[in-house]
Amino acid sequence: MGILRRSLLLGVPALMLLLAGCASAAPRGSAPKVAQIPTPSASQTGLSQSLLALQADYVNLYKEVSPSVVQISTSQDLGSGIIFNVQGDIVTNNHVANGLKSFTVTLSNGKTYPGTLVNNFPGDDLAVIHINASGLHAATFANSSQLQVGDIVMAIGNPLGFQSSATDGIVSAVGRTVSEPNGVTLPNVIQTSAPINPGNSGGALVDLEGQVVGIPTLAALDPQLGSSQAPGIGFAIPSNVVTDIAGQIVKYGKVVNSNRAFIGVDVEQVTNNQGQPNGVLVVKITRSQVSQAGLKVQDVITSINGQATPSVQDLTDALANLSPGQKVKLAVTEPNGTKTSISIVLGQLPAGVS
């Protein structure tokens, strides 16, 4: 506020000098000329009212949703979470839980509770933590499939430890596939212009109706800025995925149906003589159907359904957009250099596999 006030004050002398210069050209003793300020038109008045109404929506939205957003602290870091139900289950990102079993959970009113891990699902970067507390304000989750580009959203979380902070933006895109630094690929995510900073992870991305449409998870990095955060490009896991995965963990204690495809192999990166990625080496087969289809250890997968897979990440990204039970064709180079094609029915990604 001090900076804004200073700017306004600095502008006054310039304005005064301009008016004084105009006044000096008038005859001595004559009345100064006074500029007529136009009366606001009906359209301008309507616009002001619309902006005030939108501002009121923002204020009410924050008041409604912020009690459902918590801060999750560990011995290493902190992040955010959403109260999933009044029984004390809290959904957050798996990278916020970070392999730990116990946490300190701080509600928006400042009360703290010990939290314990219920379970996680690394494949979708989600985890559920439980606290024993009463009077909790559970969030309401929207149907994220109805989101449209241009929808206004607010991100509520604890960026850099500033508890219960809010930023706003729009839905910039839907259906993105993004990869996290740890190699986890997230399909069908929401891209938003609402600033996503460290500590926002696991928090709430909400629409103007106060419903959670996604969980802010990561921000894009700009190589031209020294791999620092690119402003206005953040990504959130859609609420339909959140309610499905967290709901299974709450109900069964684990994920029983991931709806994510996988081949059933452990792989390593292959490079060519120039050190460039050149395919994905099969080092272990974990699903019997894969062996039955003809894929063997030491085979190199070079494409799936015609999509080149020079790197492990390329293969992971391709699988993220396929479905369990789908039949795919793998281009394979055998150890003796023979190139062949193998058809495989994809399995379902089990819990604990990313």
Query: Cα separation of 247 and 22, whole Å?
Result: 71
**Cα dihedral sign for 248, 127, 147, 183?**
negative
DSSP element (H, E) containing 23: helix 2-24
Q: Is 288 a catalytic residue?
A: no
Classified as helix, coil or strand, 253 is: coil
- 54's tokens: 């939108």
In three-state secondary structure terms, 104 is strand
Q: Distance (Å, rounded) from C-alpha 203 to C-alpha 156?
A: 6
Cα–Cα dist 31/332, whole Å: 91
Contact 81, 203 (CB under 8 A): yes
Catalytic one of 89, 124, 125, 317: 125
**Helices within 176-300 (DSSP H only):** 239-252, 288-293
- Distance, in Å, from the CA atom of 32 to the CA atom of 19, rounded to the nearest integer, reads 9
Bridge-partner residues for 170, per DSSP? 152
Catalytic position from the list 95, 124, 172, 207: 95
Helix and strand element counts for the chain (H, E) = 6, 20
Rounded to whole angstroms, how far apart are CA atoms 257 and 247?
11
Report the distance separating Cα 280 and Cα 269, nearest Å: 5
Catalytic residue check, 130: no
Is 125 an annotated catalytic residue?
yes
The single residue of 68, 193, 201, 303 carrying the catalytic annotation is 201
Closest alpha carbon to 90 in 34, 150, 131, 31: 131
Catalytic residues: 95, 125, 201
